[in-house]
Amino acid sequence: MELGVDKHDHVQNLSAKRLIGKVAVITGGARGIGAAAAKLFAENGAYVVIADILDELGAMLAESIGARYIHCDVAKEDDVESAIQLALTWKGQLDILFSNAGIGGPAGSITSIDMEQVKHLISINLLGNVHGIKHAARAMLKHRTKGSIICTSSSAGVMGGLASHIYSLSKAAIIGLMRTAACELGVHGIRVNCISPHAVPSDLLVSAYRIFLGNETRPEQVSKLVGETGSLLRGRAATVEDVAQAALFLASEDAGFITAHNLVLDGGFTSSCNTLSFIYQ
């Protein structure tokens, strides 16, 4: 202990860390929501495995926070299994899976939908979660760990008209998968939940907005637009840190009696007739 640090304060600082000694795998952890979660989990005492296809970004982040990095294409079951195995080899247990990796889908009419694009997106957004839950559950059951599995869905999985047909399909299916997995695994003390963010100005959303607003569109512009039109908390858009905090809560014992839950992080958007909110102003 450092000189001048009160023992009571030191104990309080340790107890304030909500994931001390926990081992977490985060898919899509190299940037955006996943990177914010990796940093926050590590700050809260977790041993983090970052799994992604962005090798340079992932390796740099892992080194900076004392984590481990592994190349992982979640569409490939063997890659996901290897990420889980890395956690077990490194620390002998798995307590948390944040199954966060995903991609956007092309817009267009349902009448002209490209089935190859459907298969590609489903292989990542939906089957990536199936692979993650399958192998995380196996590890947790084998080691008798009462762990936490968290999937990333979307407000587009809760209500229609917010994103492309393919993307919305995949995100709604994740919610269904989460609920049925929670039913099976709950008897073993394993919790399975979802986070459904709305319009977080991550790289994925900014890229989508650039299709309509131009290639020079900046994240802060998207954040301002979302804050004005996509939230009851006017002027306030969600951030990747907001989503990371939600993941931290669901991963921790603070959420020890929460399972089969879809935590919608949308500033009230999906629960309101947002276009008529001027009535109250």
167 among known catalytic residues: yes
Catalytic residue among 47, 69, 167, 209, which?
167
Report the C-alpha gap between 247 and 245 in whole angstroms.
Answer: 5
What distances in angstroms separate CA 248 from CA 68, 80, 207, 251, one per listed residue?
19, 21, 26, 5
- Helix intervals (H) in 103-239: 115-125, 127-142, 165-185, 203-213, 219-229
- Using an 8 Å Cβ cutoff, are 24 and 2 in contact? no
What are the structure tokens assigned to 196, written together?
């459904």
- Using an 8 Å Cβ cutoff, are 75 and 52 in contact? no
The residues with which 50 forms a beta bridge, in sequence order, are 26, 69
Backbone angles phi, psi at 177, to 5 degrees: -60, -45
The residues with which 52 forms a beta bridge, in sequence order, are 71
Query: Which sequence positions are flagged as catalytic?
Result: 167
